[in-house]
Amino acid sequence: MSDWQSVTAVALVGTARRSLPDLPEGLPEGDPEQSLLRALAYLSVNRLVSAPLPSFDQPRWPACPPDPRPLPPAAARARLAILLDSDEPGLVGEWLRSANAAGCRLPGTLLPSLLDRALTDLRSIRSLVLAVAGQRGRWLAAQNPLWSSLALFADPVGAFREGNRAVRVQAFEQIRDDDPGQALGLLTQIWPAESTQMRTELLGCLARGLSDVDEDFLESALADPAAAVRAVAQDLLCQIPDSRFLERMRRRAQNLIRMRRGRTGPRVDVNLREEYPPDLVADGFPSRPPRGPGLKAWLTAEIVALTPPDLWPLDALAGFLESEWAGPLVTGIVRAVARFGHREWAEAVLLLSARPNRGLGLEIDVRALALGLGEAEREALVLTLIGRAPVLATEVLRHIQEPWSEALSTAALRDLRVLANTSDGLSRYLQILYAARLLASPGVVPIAEALLEGADRRGLESVLQRLIDTLRLRSQIHEEFERS
């Protein structure tokens, strides 16, 4: 009686070079080749049906916490499977947003594909995936080392104490999101032992869930030996309304700048002595002013930049421009507007940049201005700009990553259409239409269709068609969550 191994050994080297072992009884006679093939035939079936079932204890996985949220409706689940296969990643985001809004969890079988996507995609998708994936997503990611970098730590404090730099920062973010107070306590504890870079990054994490509880610690960080850490501390203190730091900055600014009414409008005087005020050092400023710009110019810009712009009436801008210190004043106010996010000032500054010869050669960072504003204010800003300076409106609109409101979607499509009459404007308008696919409200389909009817340029036609298709698909996604 021969076994599988001895027969396959002959099959590998060939019957020409090795003779056959004894073959199973009862097989028909034949030449060596035939006999070998028949032995394989006989043994293979035997081997197949007597496949071993090794004994193994049932594996125990850590318990997966239950998720009380309902599954999405069947149509929505089927849609997600299709979207994951398609080449329009933005629509997966749309699905996730709808699921999040409907309070649904993810179907388990699709979790792995979404975690993979969260690994590679933009941060915006990542946080959405993590929100919808919920407890089960965290549980699953903990089982696969590939997904561990999704900052889903079962034990974030342990990861924070033992991980490498990137892991520590992610773990700290998670701790901060779960319990801001615990994160602050942990940071206070380890603070003196950390490197400058680590201190800078960890302190930056306090921006999540920032509150006046953090103020004392941030005040102490103003005395940090590293300028980068002090800058983060200043920045965060600016985000705590009515912090002591802001109060001090307001007082400084009021002493620095005196406003009075002139015949043609407000006049501004800058009131500084030629020496470096020693109290600035305690508020995180360098111990000596930097070389280069004059002391007065530098200080003026710095102080204005760290003061909430609502300290000044809006028409102070005209006074700034007339002033002998116009350059530093405008530089400062632009930075302050970006930092504190003030819609009316943002509008004023942006319109200033659009006025020829009045921008003082200043490059205005539209992105920073746009991102400094809250979501609703950013929209309101675009809506006012659309009528007054459409090109500028597109500049701000480009930096809006959240879904547009119905009003904004309508205005962007219909009122920016005038841009398409010039070739430079056309490419701007096309960019807006392209962004509108994923951001505009699906309710504007009729407007897009009307535009398509009147489309006289080739590029416009195809982009509008694509816009309409995608908007339709998006409203289908929404509807599938409503039907249950």
Partner 1 sequence: MSMAPDAAAAKAGAQLASNRPWSGLGATSEAVWGDCAGSAAMPYRAAVDLRAPAFKCSCPSRKFPCKHCLGLLLMFAREPTSFEPVPAPAWVNEWLDTRSDRADRAGRSTRPRTAAESERITLMQERRARQREERVAAGIEELDLWLRDLVRHGLAELPQRPRSTLEVPVQRLVDAQAPGLARHLSATWEPLHASGGWVDPLLMRLGRLQLLVEAYRRIDRVPETMRAVIRSSMGFAEARDDVLRGDVVRDRWLVVGRRFEVSRANLRSRRTWLRGADSGRFALLLDFAAFGQALDPQPSVGTRFEAGLAFYTGAPLRALIADQTSEPESASTLGAGHGLRAGLIECASLFAREPWLESAPLLVESVRLGRTELGWFVVDADAASLRLHPKAAGWALLAASCGEPIQLFGEWSDAGLLPLGMSGPDGCESVATATSGT
Can you give the binding site for partner 1, defined by CB under 8 A?
4, 8, 11-17, 31-34, 36-38, 40-45, 47-49, 51, 53-64, 71, 74, 78, 81, 107-113, 115-116, 136, 139-140, 143-144, 146-147, 465, 468-469, 472
Query: Three-state SS for 58?
Result: coil
Cβ distance 435 to 404 under 8 Å? no
Give the shortest CB-406-to-partner 1 separation in angstroms.
Answer: 21
Amino acid in position 162:
E
Q: Which is nearer to partner 1, 61 or 193 (CB)?
A: 61
Among residues 384, 385, 467, the alpha carbon closest in space to that of 431 is found at: 467
Q: Which is nearer to partner 1, 61 or 225 (CB)?
A: 61
Q: Which is nearer to partner 1, 3 or 269 (CB)?
A: 3
Which residue is associated with the tokens 């480009």?
Answer: 398
Pull the structure tokens for residue 375. 């979501």
Give the shortest CB-28-to-partner 1 separation in angstroms.
Answer: 8
Q: Which is nearer to partner 1, 107 or 180 (CB)?
A: 107
Distance CA 124, CA 117 (A): 11
Q: Which is nearer to partner 1, 75 or 311 (CB)?
A: 75
Pull the structure tokens for residue 39. 């032995």
Which residue is associated with the tokens 């929100």?
Answer: 131
Q: Greatest CA separation found in the chain?
A: 121
Give the shortest CB-79-to-partner 1 separation in angstroms.
Answer: 9
Cβ distance 142 to 112 under 8 Å? no
448: Cα separation from own chain's centroid: 29
Give the shortest CB-331-to-partner 1 separation in angstroms.
Answer: 50
Q: Which is nearer to partner 1, 66 or 361 (CB)?
A: 66
Based on the number of CB atoms within 10 Å of its own CB, is 240 exposed (0-12), middle (13-18) or buried (19 or more)? middle
Among residues 331, 307, 293, the alpha carbon closest in space to that of 257 is found at: 307
Give the shortest CB-482-to-partner 1 separation in angstroms.
Answer: 17
Q: Which is nearer to partner 1, 10 or 257 (CB)?
A: 10
Q: Which is nearer to partner 1, 23 or 370 (CB)?
A: 23
Query: Three-state SS for 12?
Result: helix
Give the shortest CB-90-to-partner 1 separation in angstroms.
Answer: 17
Handedness of CA 251, 252, 253, 258 (dihedral sign): positive
Cβ distance 152 to 182 under 8 Å? no
Q: Which is nearer to partner 1, 40 or 360 (CB)?
A: 40
Cβ distance 291 to 285 under 8 Å? no
Residue 260 bridge partners (DSSP): 267
Pull the structure tokens for residue 172. 């700290």
Amino acid in position 81:
A
Give the shortest CB-433-to-partner 1 separation in angstroms.
Answer: 16
Give the shortest CB-412-to-partner 1 separation in angstroms.
Answer: 22
Give the shortest CB-149-to-partner 1 separation in angstroms.
Answer: 14
